[in-house]
Structure 1
Amino acid sequence: MSDVFEVAAQPRSDTGKGASRRLRRTGLVPGIVYGGNDEPAMIAVPHSELERQLDYEAFYSSLLDLKLGNKTTKVVLKDLQRHPAKPFLLHVDFLRVSRDEKLRLTVPIHFVNEEGCPGLKMGGTISHNITEIEISCLPGNLPEYLSVDMAEMTLGDVIHVSELNLPPEVELTHSLDPETPVVMIFAPQSESADADDSAEGEAAPGSGPGSD
């Protein structure tokens, strides 16, 4: 992991919708940090700072340094609530991590060598069926993303979940069928139509079942 993200938080004692609204009016996002051997702690995070961090894809799947007073705790972003109609963050959850306990976290999938793959050059259409996936690993082995190399993909090729290249000590959580397509390349529409017309033309009139 190349980036180190720090989240500055402050403790909060008031709870309930009214208290959360008051926090938001002062530019803070109410949140909670839980897990590990400590009790859950109610926190507040500056909205502008959190919003800036969220612009980085790696923030969602990296170990974060949560600074609360004089204490720094390793956490991961576990949940984020956004306003359904406005660009506001409503609530954030962080999970404490232990170096000896496996994490379950969703990481993005990056498709590399996509623009130069043979199937695209032949006029095919690329379909990304899955763009993120849940993995399980120890915190020290947490990847920011998984890579799918499309350099050799041609028309009709499919890469399935079972074919994903996983880093050492990283496992899938098996929430998806291994044969679920991750990415595929469809032949051009005209080509598919020509193939269908050709198949129909091969059946001579009167040669089907029941003909005399």
Structure 2
Amino acid sequence: MAKANVKEMKASTRARAGKGGAREVRRAGQVPGTIYGDDKEPLNVALDYKELTSRIFAGHFLTTIYDLDIDGKKHRVIPRDYQLDPVKDFPIHVDFQRLGEGAQIRVSIPVHVRNAEVSPGVKRGGAVNIVTHSIDVRCPADAIPEAIEVDLSNLDITDSVHLSEIKLPDNVRPLLAGDATLVTIVPPSGVIEEQRAAAAAAAAGPADAAAAPAAGAAPAAGAAGGDKKAAAPAAGGDKKPAEKKPADKK
């Protein structure tokens, strides 16, 4: 599990705080920022717009340690928040947390997968489903893992990997209350339909077999009943008509 590297970035102090000072910094092609923490007074700074923008959109900005070179003095910090213009999507402010010696911080670590191409489940048509995209952990500021890596080389369809199965460094403690499912291999839709159809057939099979004799007996009973009805007129036909008595002679 690789650790994040410490990177460098230049900044300068800004004399004016507040909205007026921030507008002046932006008009000069810079981005206003603030450094706080480590039981020291907040420090208002200004950063180069192009450099900060490229750092933010390169990814991992909020999990990267920076040595800010401010007027020749380095300040070790970690970005804690940044604001983007709601319309044009460019940075308009950034906050840094100052990191003292041996500082422990809370940070969100992304979940990355590897060896998906050799996964038996993927080879059979399954899809990789990242259930948990990041994990909040507490760790030393100078030992932030770059990512939590999940190896899929042995995963088949419906298999999953949980956080408890991942070996974390001793100084990295997850802050989740329970054991999180990180990644699972989802079966393709065709396989799901086949499994459902097979399960339905297996459940319905014994009932259909038991019902078959009763269904077959119905026509026989009907046929017998039909014979009786057919025989009734014949029995009635055997009777002779009643003889007429001769009329009494006067």
TM over 0.5: yes
* Mean CA deviation greater in 3-12 or 121-130: 3-12
Question: Whole-Å Cα distance in 2 between the matches of residues 195 and 92 of structure 1?
Answer: 52
Q: Is 1:201–2:191 an aligned residue pair?
A: no
The one-character-per-residue Cα deviations of 1:64-112 (angstroms, maximum 9, x if unpaired) are 1011112111111111111223131011111111232311111222211
Q: Is 1:102–2:104 an aligned residue pair?
A: yes
Q: Give the letter aligned to residue 105 of structure 1.
A: V
Match of 2:87? 85
Question: Whole-Å Cα distance in 2 between the matches of residues 21 and 155 of structure 1?
Answer: 55
Measured after TM superposition, the shift of residue 206 of structure 1 is 8.3
Superposition pairs of residues 164-183 of structure 1, within 5 angstroms: 164-174=166-176, 177-178=178-179, 180-183=180-183
Match of 2:230? none
Q: Which residue, 64, 74, 80 being the options, matches 1:62?
A: 64
Question: Whole-Å Cα distance in 2 between the matches of residues 160 and 85 of structure 1?
Answer: 39
Q: Is the Cα–Cα contact under 8 Å of residues 10 and 43 in structure 1 kept in the other structure?
A: yes
Decide whether aligned partners of structure 1 residues 117 and 62 sit closer, same or farther in structure 2, where only a CA change above 3 A counts: same
Measured after TM superposition, the shift of residue 10 of structure 1 is 1.2
Match of 1:24? 26
Question: Whole-Å Cα distance in 2 between the matches of residues 162 and 3 of structure 1?
Answer: 26
Richer in helix (by share)? 2
Q: Is the Cα–Cα contact under 8 Å of residues 109 and 136 in structure 2 kept in the other structure?
A: yes
Q: Give the letter aligned to residue 81 of structure 1.
A: Q
Measured after TM superposition, the shift of residue 3 of structure 1 is 4.0
Structure whose CA Rg is larger: 2
Measured after TM superposition, the shift of residue 55 of structure 1 is 4.1
Question: Whole-Å Cα distance in 2 between the matches of residues 172 and 206 of structure 1?
Answer: 50
Question: Whole-Å Cα distance in 2 between the matches of residues 138 and 151 of structure 1?
Answer: 31
Q: Is 1:132–2:113 an aligned residue pair?
A: no
Moved over 6 A (4+): none
Question: Whole-Å Cα distance in 1 between the matches of residues 72 and 110 of structure 2?
Answer: 33
Q: Give the length in aligned residue pairs.
A: 208
Q: Is the Cα–Cα contact under 8 Å of residues 4 and 64 in structure 2 kept in the other structure?
A: no
For residue 169 of structure 1, give the secondary structure of its aligned residue in structure 2: coil
Decide whether aligned partners of structure 1 residues 20 and 202 sit closer, same or farther in structure 2, where only a CA change above 3 A counts: same
Q: Give the letter aligned to residue 46 of structure 1.
A: D
Measured after TM superposition, the shift of residue 205 of structure 1 is 6.8
Q: Is the Cα–Cα contact under 8 Å of residues 62 and 81 in structure 2 kept in the other structure?
A: no
* Mean CA deviation greater in 69-78 or 131-140: 131-140
Match of 1:185? 185
Q: Is the Cα–Cα contact under 8 Å of residues 107 and 144 in structure 1 kept in the other structure?
A: yes
* Mean CA deviation greater in 40-49 or 20-29: 20-29
Q: Is the Cα–Cα contact under 8 Å of residues 85 and 92 in structure 2 kept in the other structure?
A: yes
Question: Whole-Å Cα distance in 2 between the matches of residues 72 and 117 of structure 1?
Answer: 46
For residue 26 of structure 2, give the secondary structure of its aligned residue in structure 1: helix
Q: Is the Cα–Cα contact under 8 Å of residues 4 and 146 in structure 2 kept in the other structure?
A: no
TM-score (structure 2 length as normaliser): 0.75
